[in-house]
Amino acid sequence: MIILFNPRATKPRNRRFPLSVMALAAVLEGREEYQIVDGNVDANPTETILNLIRCNTVELLGVSVMPGPQMESAITSCKEIRNQHPKLPVVWGGYFPSTYTDATLNARYVDYVVRGQGEDTLLELLDALRGERSLEGILGLSYKDVFGLHRHNPERLMKGPDAFPWSPFHRVPVEKYLRPSFFGKRTAAHHASIGCPFRCSFCGVHAIYGNRELVESAARTEAVLRHLKTNYGADSVQFYDMNFFLRESHANELAGRIAPLGLRWWCEARIDTFTRYSDATLEAIRRAGCTMIFFGAESGSDWVLKEMQKDITTEQTLAVAQRIKQFGIIPEFSFVIGNPRDPERDTRETLQFVRKIKRINPRSEIIIYHYPPVPQRTSMYGNIDGQVSFPTTLDEWATKRWMDFTLRIDPNTPWLKRKTKKLIDNFEVVISSRWPTVQDIRAPRWSRALLKTLSAWRYAAGIYAFPKELRWAQQFITLRKPKQESL
């Protein structure tokens, strides 16, 4: 038996399909005995895995790991499993081990790391563990040799989604993943592409997937969504693609195919790509059920966007905010503030830019992060080399300092002065109170009215310092929200 483990990463109300392990399960279906264990559903996934090991001959434990809470959960479970079953091969894959491979292999409870796309690598690793091939020839695999040294095989060339079977939805409790959201009562999740062709300097995706994006055919996307609606009653979907829209012809075909399904949906898109689409295409996307689009605006400073290699301009962002209004689609703009070259200037200009967006399109949702570097990109900033030393062990990554870093709660970057960080944080409190997100479906009307009233004078006057009353109001509202945490 093969165990595919998705450690807990979120609260039950926010869980979605464990797409990463479901993709691996798809290539095992019909050829291997396997079991999916999802910590977002299972109250005690470690014990579940240990019971499976007691009752079956388990050849491999595959663990999918994202930074943050999921990494912490993975560490706790894998330590216990290794203590009780020291000879069981443990394989980590996903964004975290693909990015921090050596730190992952330094853990005594991790034997192999699958970097990047893992379907073919997993199958070949199984062959190697059965003595049918050597480890050296498995692309995308990192491992410890007999002397404990780290070996990193060459990268594996990506394949598009159509090269692999569908996710085996019948092997997971689908009902537990179709959760209420702003988009519907039974919101599913789908990933219709892999990779990203763009070169943003603050992103670690290139190091994992290179500079290509391979897109699922519109016919297959429609078929998967139709299956989820017909068989499980899904009424909405969140697409987790880095860039849902690339080619306008594909966007038109997909919109035409999924419009009859009557689904409301959310996706991510590039600002420059979106500005090139015709009004007819945007209208087709709206008719197909598109309700909200996430855009990485990143900065209100063109000099920062150029340094980021974002390949967009602030004028394009403003144009999208203006143009999207006529189609009734809500734009969601994210900003990564505090560029190391001149964090004070970047912060000042970006906060003013956000206010400009709100004047143009008040429905715009604003997401604000501090600027954290990624290991592959720190050399781009000569003034931070030597200032940021990334952990070399998983235990250090699991400390509060680095958990906050990965979650962008408080990256604790040395170039960001305390007063600048406070300004960013206070501004976020004020603007999120002045325009509470529509995605918080548990927030009652009175709470939105309260926050808007309390924050109106601050936003109008541009006074962000010490917003204690807003923080207290937000905490009070959170405590008064109905609990929906049951499994």
- pLDDT tens, residue by residue, 264-322: 999 999 999 999 999 999 999 999 999 999 999 999 999 999 988 888 999 999 999 99
Specify whether the CB–CB gap between 126 and 33 falls below 8 A.
no
Specify whether the CB–CB gap between 193 and 215 falls below 8 A.
yes
pLDDT greater than 60 at residue 104: yes
Longest dimension (CA), the chain: 70
Apex 18 CA angle, 13 and 21, nearest 5: 160
* Residues 6 or more apart in contact with residue 18 via CB below 8 angstroms: 6, 36, 38, 40, 64, 172
User: Any idea which residue has 């592959």 for tokens?
Assistant: 376
Q: Give pLDDT tens digits for 342-370.
A: 999 999 999 999 999 999 999 999 999 88
Containing 472, the helix (H) or strand (E) segment is helix 468-480
Residue 478 is predicted with a pLDDT of 81
Strand ranges for 150-216 from DSSP E: 150-152, 179-181, 184-190, 193-195, 213-215
Taking Cα atoms as reference points, which of 200, 314, 192 lies closest to residue 245? 192
* Residues 6 or more apart in contact with residue 427 via CB below 8 angstroms: 351, 354, 368, 464
Residue 379 is predicted with a pLDDT of 44
Long-range contacts of residues 463-469, Cβ cutoff 8 Å, at least 24 apart: 464/423, 464/426, 464/427, 464/429, 464/430, 465/422, 465/426, 466/426, 467/426, 467/429, 467/430, 467/433
Domain 178-364 in CATH 3.30.70.890 = no
% of the chain exceeding 90 in pLDDT = 78
Distance from CA of residue 49 to its chain's centroid?
26
List where CATH 3.20.20.70 sits in the chain. Answer: 178-364
pLDDT greater than 90 at residue 431: yes
Q: Give pLDDT tens digits for 23-75.
A: 999 999 999 999 999 999 999 999 999 999 999 999 999 999 999 999 999 99
Taking Cα atoms as reference points, which of 244, 263, 169 lies closest to residue 177? 169
Domain 2-152 in CATH 3.30.300.30 = no
pLDDT greater than 50 at residue 385: no
Find the DSSP H helices in 295-417: 302-308, 314-323, 343-360, 394-397, 400-407
The Cα–Cα gap between 113 and 344 comes to: 39
- Three-state secondary structure call for residue 215: strand
Specify whether the CB–CB gap between 191 and 214 falls below 8 A.
no
List where CATH 3.40.50.2300 sits in the chain. Answer: 2-152
